[in-house]
Each structure stands twice: as C-alpha cells, then as structure tokens.
C-alpha cells in the first residue's frame, strides 16, 4: 500500500512507470498478507517490484517504450517474470526505458524521458538523466517506489543506470536468465538481471530470476548456486585485477578517486590486487556498435504491421511496411536499423560485421586470459556521474561513449555488477563495476558486498 501511494505521488514527476498496475498490485498484496498470516511465505512473498516494460507480462500492456507496441497486450508471461511471480513477488507496474532498450539516458522513450531522483548539490532545478536503458527501473528503486526491479543489459543497461541512481544492479552471465518472452534487441548480448538498493537484495532476486529454460536455446543448464550465501563471504586470498586499459584518457579525477577507494577497500578485506591487461578493450565500443545494430535490424524486422503491433494501412504491402515503421519507430531505433542493415549488406558484410565478430572473439579471449590470473576485475561503471537532460543529446556518438566500460563484459558474456561507491564532488552517486568469470556470479556478489 505504501509503495502504491509513493508511485501515485511521485510518478508524475519521475515518469519511471509507463503502466502502473495499482489494483492488481493491491489484490496481490492482500493475497500475500494472507499467505504470510498462515506462515507459508515463499522467498519473495509480498515484495513489490517494478518490471522493465521489455518483459512480456500476461494481460498487462508491454510497450518496449515504442509507439510500435503502444497497445500490445501479451497473452503470455516471460520466463523471468513467471519465476518472480512463482516466488511470491507483487508487480507494481511496468517501468520506462529507452525504446527497445536502445540508449544510455532514457531519453529515447516514446512515453517521455525519466527523471533521476538525485540532484546535484545546491542545484534543485537541473533535471538529471537516470541512465539507460533501464532508467525507469533504476529511478523507481532509487526513489523507493519499489523494493527492486528487473532490468535487461545488452551493453550496460542495468549497470550504467544503477551507477547513475546510486543502486546495485547485476548483469548475470549470458545464458543464466532465460530470454524467453523478453522483447529482443541484440539476441547474442541481451541478458536480464535484477536492480535493487543492496547487493544482497540483488542476490535474492537473481536467485528467483535465474535458471535453465528449455524455451530459450541459449539458456544454460547448470545449477544456480546460493547467491545470498555469497554476499559477505570472506575475501581473503581473492585476486582482484585492475585492467590498465580502463584508465582512459580524460577520465574525471573523481572517477579515478572512487576507483582507488574501491581498490583500497578490497585490499583491506584481504584481496590481492593485481595489474592486468585487456588489450582489445579499445575496440569494444566500435565492435559493439556494429554487432548490436546488426542484430537489432534483424530482430526488429518482425514489426512489419502485419502480424502484431501497430499497423498503418496503405495501398500496397511495401507502402504499408514503410508507413507502419515511420509511425512506429523513433529516431534512435531507425538509426540503429539503418546501421545494422548497412553492416550486414552484401557489399559490406566482410568489412564490418565479419570483422567485428572476429574482434569480439579477441575481446572474449582477453577476459579468459585475465581470469587465469585473477578471480574478478574492478573498474568504474561509467566515465561520469549522471549528466543533465539535454546534454550529449544532439550527438549520438557522445552518447555511445558512455558505454565504454560496460560493453566489453557484454561482448564476452561474463557477469558484471555495478555497486554504489560513494559520491562525486557534486554529490552524485558513483558506481564501481565488478566483472567475473562465466557463471561465477558468486565472486562478483562477494566482492561487491565488500564495497557497498
């Protein structure tokens, strides 16, 4: 009840939710109370969550923040959200995002931008972005509208908004959470994960979300460990790598300082700090912005106005495709589709897409080599704290540069988490990123809980 009231009070300003399911949430909360009264609680009984509006929810509108799916009501539940419901969670509504999860500031939503609940010290007027694409989830958790939220991360969309909003968020190993029923952006990169105020809350939510699903061919059939037990685990002897290539030119001094503090905290906790090298890091962004648009152009071809979603009727089929896409897709989505079809086209495939796949393998091998020396890596999550709405908006490349520290782990498929690590000089939250070996989310959670 208190959470629903908080949403009703604050969502008008924050715009964190596209759809609020207050009545269903209150009914579910009453049922949860009855279950609790009988002493039969499941792991998440009665816990109010926000669900990124990219997860299909049975009977509840699912838009991907796009005009294309403005009135789409799925007749099925995604595996991840079904797992959360099985464990007793209560959904407060569907959270805002960049259209089809493409963006880093949550300004690309057809339902309007999301406001970061944080303000710069002494500056109550400037509206800051929450990061993206899971900006609605991050803002809802940071403002205590819900206790946790789901996100998806293709190149940083859980970690970067978590960092900008001062909360924790983990992108698990690719294959850990089922992609079934989650609207696809770039299928070889997309991974669902939790966002919450503490590392332990993330562990509890991930426990429920994760697991093998035969309906997703890339879901991996391996046991899900006890994530909660990993939080607060003794770190004595853990080897933590500091990748030299992440000390990029022009990084603000306060980000460096936060990183140094994180190193000191882990050293104090008994970790051994080791300098490592990931030489192909510098190609991460360029490769990501070939692979992700290529896969997006293929995935978004299904929004043709014929089978589901928006349809703008026209005299011929070709004209109907054109009119539907013109009405349905925003500017960033169109840009990505055009980049994607270009790098996949017959004359350019070898020069761009094929080359990017090869470099992606080199990036993956960088991590394999580093993880022969160390157990986890520690880096900043993003090269800056949250910026103002309106900044970096007329130059897409400036926006893409935000993702410099998050895309390499996505390209390699390894787990990575952002954890709050203090405030900037302007009073804004800064996040540090912990990257781990494939399927070793436990070490990531353990190291993160020593930092928060």
Is 21 or 389 the residue whose CB approaches ligand GLN more closely? 389
Q: How far is CA 223 from CA 34, 226, 227, 242, 250, in A?
A: 32, 10, 11, 29, 42
In the bound state with ligand GLN, the residue whose beta carbon lies nearer, of 44 and 186, is 186
Cβ-contact 334, 320 below 8 angstroms: no
Is there binding between residue 213 and ligand GLN (CB under 6 A)?
Answer: no
Total residues at interface with ligand GLN (CB under 6 A)? 13
Stretch that binds ligand GLN, among 95-103, 118-126, 199-207, 245-253 (CB under 6 A): 95-103
Distances (CA, A) of 115 to 1, 201, 277: 23, 23, 37
Q: Kindly state whether residue 115 participates in binding ligand GLN, applying the rule CB under 6 A.
A: no
133 is catalytic: yes
Task: Rule CB under 6 A: choose which of 15, 66, 78, 104 binds ligand GLN.
Answer: 104
For ligand GLN, which stretch binds (CB under 6 A), given 20-28, 39-47, 148-156, 416-424? Answer: 148-156
Binding status of residue 184 toward ligand GLN by CB under 6 A: no
Q: Does 154 bind ligand GLN (CB under 6 A)?
A: yes
- Distance CA(389)–CA(391), nearest Å, equals 6
3-state secondary structure of 78: coil
Strand partners, 20: 93
- Shortest distance in whole angstroms from residue 287 CB to ligand GLN: 12
Q: Which of 87, 99, 115, 153 binds ligand GLN (CB under 6 A)?
A: 153
Tokens representing 404? 């410099």
| Residue 435 touching ligand GLN (CB under 6 A) | no
Q: Does 102 bind ligand GLN (CB under 6 A)?
A: yes
Candidates 66, 78, 104, 133; catalytic one: 133
Instruction: With beta carbons less than 8 A apart as the criterion, state whether 243 and 369 touch.
Output: no
Contact between 415 and ligand GLN per CB under 6 A? no
Report d(CA 362, CA 378) in Å as an integer.
Answer: 20
Nearest-10 crossing angle of helices 79-86, 199-209: 110
* Kind and range of the H or E run holding 44: none
Token digits for 322? 């054109």
Active site residue 157: yes
Contacts to ligand GLN from residues 307-346, by CB under 6 A: none
**CA–CA distance from 23 to each of 28, 62, 84, 272 (Å)?**
9, 17, 19, 51
In the bound state with ligand GLN, the residue whose beta carbon lies nearer, of 3 and 392, is 392
- The three-class DSSP label of residue 141 is helix
Catalytic residue among 78, 109, 157, 208: 157
User: Which two structure tokens, joined as six digits, stand for 297?
Assistant: 């152009």
Q: Does 103 bind ligand GLN (CB under 6 A)?
A: yes
- At residue 40, the 3 state secondary structure works out as coil
Residue least distant from ligand GLN (Cβ): 157
We find the least distance from the C-beta atom of residue 419 to ligand GLN, in angstroms, to be 18
Position among 18, 49, 90, 101 found at the interface with ligand GLN (CB under 6 A):
101
Supply the residues annotated as catalytic: 52, 133, 157
Applying CB under 6 A, which residues contact ligand GLN?
Answer: 101-104, 133, 153-157, 185, 292, 403
């Amino acid at each position: 009840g208190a959470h629903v009231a908080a949403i009703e009070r604050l969502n008008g300003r924050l715009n964190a939710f596209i759809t609020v399911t207050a009545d269903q949430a209150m009914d579910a909360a009453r049922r949860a109370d009855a279950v609790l009264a009988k002493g039969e609680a499941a792991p998440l009984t009665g816990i109010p969550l926000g669900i990124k509006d990219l997860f299909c929810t049975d009977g509840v509108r699912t838009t991907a923040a796009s005009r294309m799916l403005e009135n789409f009501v799925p007749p099925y539940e995604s595996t991840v959200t079904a797992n959360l419901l099985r464990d007793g969670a209560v959904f407060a509504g569907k959270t805002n995002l960049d259209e089809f999860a493409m963006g880093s500031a949550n300004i690309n939503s057809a339902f309007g931008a999301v406001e970061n609940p944080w303000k710069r010290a002494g500056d109550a007027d400037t509206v800051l972005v929450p990061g993206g694409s899971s900006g609605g989830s991050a803002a809802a958790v940071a403002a205590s509208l819900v206790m946790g939220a789901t996100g998806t991360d293709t190149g940083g969309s859980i970690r970067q908004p978590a960092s900008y909003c001062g909360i924790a968020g983990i992108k698990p190993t690719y294959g850990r959470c089922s992609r079934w029923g989650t609207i696809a952006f770039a299928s070889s990169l997309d991974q669902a994960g939790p966002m919450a105020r503490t590392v332990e809350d993330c562990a509890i939510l991930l426990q429920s979300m994760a697991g093998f699903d035969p309906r997703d061919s890339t879901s991996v059939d391996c046991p899900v460990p006890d994530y909660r037990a990993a939080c607060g685990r003794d770190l004595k002897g853990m080897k933590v790598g500091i990748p030299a290539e992440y000390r990029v030119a022009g990084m603000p001094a306060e980000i460096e300082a936060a990183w140094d503090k994180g190193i000191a905290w882990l050293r104090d906790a008994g970790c051994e700090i080791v300098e490592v090298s990931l030489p192909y890091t510098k190609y991460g962004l360029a490769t990501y912005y070939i692979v992700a648009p290529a896969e997006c152009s293929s995935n978004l071809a299904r929004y043709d106005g014929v089978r589901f979603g928006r349809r703008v009727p026209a005299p011929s089929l070709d004209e109907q495709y054109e009119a539907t896409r013109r009405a349905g897709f925003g500017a960033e989505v169109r840009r990505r589709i055009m980049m994607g079809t270009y790098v996949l086209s017959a004359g350019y495939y070898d020069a761009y897409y094929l080359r990017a796949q090869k470099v992606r393998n080199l990036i993956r091998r960088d991590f394999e080599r580093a993880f022969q020396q160390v157990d986890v890596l520690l880096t900043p999550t993003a090269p800056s704290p949250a910026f103002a709405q309106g900044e970096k908006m007329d130059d897409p490349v400036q926006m893409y540069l935000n993702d410099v520290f998050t895309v390499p782990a996505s390209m390699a498929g390894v787990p990575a988490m952002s954890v709050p690590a203090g405030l900037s000089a302007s009073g804004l939250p800064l996040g540090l990123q912990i990257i781990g070996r494939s399927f070793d989310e436990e070490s990531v959670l353990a190291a993160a809980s020593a930092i928060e």
